[in-house]
C-alpha cells in the first residue's frame, strides 16, 4: 500500500533475483479502501509516492502499477475466503480479508504475474492469498518472504511511524514475547495454551501495550492447536496507543 520501507524493498530484491536479468519486476502501490474498517486509518495512511518511486528505482524494479482507482461506483462483486480468514485479524477486523482478496485478485488479473511475493509479517494474509490462489486455480506462484526487522526486533511496518517515542520504546516487547515462547518450545513446552499465556504475560509487562489477540495455530489452517508441533505459528496483534501492530513466529 505504499510508504515503502526496507521490508518492502526486500520483497523487490527477492523479485529481482527470481526474475533474473531477463524478467520484469512490477511493484503495485495502491492504498486499498476496501480493507479498512470504518474506524481505521484510511484517510491518514501515508502516501509518499515520490519517495516510493525513488526506492523502486534504486532496487531495480522495472515498473510501478499505481492505479488511481480500482472500483466502479456501483462495484458489487467481492471475493470471500471463508476459513483461513475467519480467526485472528479476520475476527478482529470484519470485512478486512474480503477487501484483501478482492484487491489482490484484481491486481493479479490485471498484471498477470508468474510469481507474486508477499511478506510473512502479514502471516494470515499470506495464508489467505495462498488459499484463494489454490481454490480459484490462479496461474501464479505465491512466494512468502521473511519479515524484516529493526535492530531491536520490531517488525518493520508503515504504521510504526504513528508510534510515540514511549510507544516505540515498548513495542519490541512483542518480538521478545515470541522469542521467549520459541525458547520455551525448544525446551520441550508443547502445550498451546501454556505458550499462549507466556506470550500474553510477557507483552503485558509493557504498560502501554493493549493485546488484541495471542494465538498458537496450525500453520496452514490457522486453527488453534492443543499441542504445538514443528511449524506451528504463534500470531500476535497488540495496540500501542491507537496503533495496531502484528507479528508472528513459526516454531522450528
The residues annotated with a catalytic role in the active site are 8
- Given the DSSP bridges, would you call strands 233-240 and 243-250 parallel, antiparallel or unpaired? antiparallel
The Cα 244–Cα 252 span in angstroms is: 26
Instruction: For 136-150, give one letter per residue: b (16+ CB within 10 A) or e.
Output: eebebebebbebbbb
Of 77, 94, 84, residue with least CA distance to 40: 94
The Cα 16–Cα 102 span in angstroms is: 26
The Cα 1–Cα 11 span in angstroms is: 13
Q: Is 53 helix (H, G, I), strand (E, B) or coil?
A: helix
Amino acid at each position: 500500500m505504499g510508504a515503502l520501507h526496507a521490508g518492502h524493498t526486500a520483497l523487490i530484491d527477492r523479485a529481482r533475483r527470481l526474475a533474473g536479468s531477463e524478467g520484469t519486476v512490477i511493484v503495485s502501490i495502491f492504498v486499498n479502501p476496501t480493507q479498512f474498517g470504518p474506524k481505521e486509518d484510511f484517510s491518514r495512511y501515508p502516501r509518499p509516492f515520490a519517495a516510493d518511486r525513488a526506492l523502486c528505482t534504486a532496487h531495480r524494479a522495472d515498473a510501478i502499477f499505481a492505479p488511481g482507482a480500482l472500483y466502479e461506483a456501483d462495484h458489487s462483486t467481492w471475493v470471500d475466503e471463508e476459513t483461513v480468514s475467519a480467526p485472528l485479524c479476520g475476527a478482529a477486523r470484519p470485512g478486512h480479508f474480503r477487501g484483501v482478496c478482492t484487491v489482490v485478485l484484481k491486481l493479479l488479473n490485471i498484471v498477470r504475474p508468474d510469481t507474486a511475493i508477499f511478506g510473512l509479517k502479514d502471516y494470515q494474509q499470506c495464508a489467505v492469498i495462498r488459499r484463494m490462489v489454490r481454490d480459484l486455480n490462479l496461474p501464479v506462484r505465491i512466494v512468502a518472504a521473511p519479515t524484516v526487522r529493526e535492530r531491536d526486533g520490531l517488525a518493520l511496518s508503515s504504521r510504526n511511524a504513528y508510534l510515540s517515542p514511549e510507544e516505540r520504546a515498548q513495542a519490541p516487547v512483542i518480538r521478545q514475547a515470541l522469542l521467549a515462547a520459541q525458547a520455551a518450545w525448544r525446551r520441550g513446552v508443547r502445550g498451546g495454551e501454556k505458550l499462549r499465556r507466556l506470550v500474553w504475560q510477557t507483552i503485558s509487562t509493557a504498560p502501554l501495550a493493549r493485546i488484541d489477540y495471542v494465538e498458537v495455530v496450525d500453520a496452514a489452517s490457522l486453527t488453534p492447536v492443543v499441542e504445538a508441533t514443528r511449524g506451528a505459528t504463534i500470531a500476535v496483534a497488540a495496540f500501542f496507543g491507537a496503533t495496531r501492530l502484528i507479528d508472528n513466529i513459526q516454531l522450528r
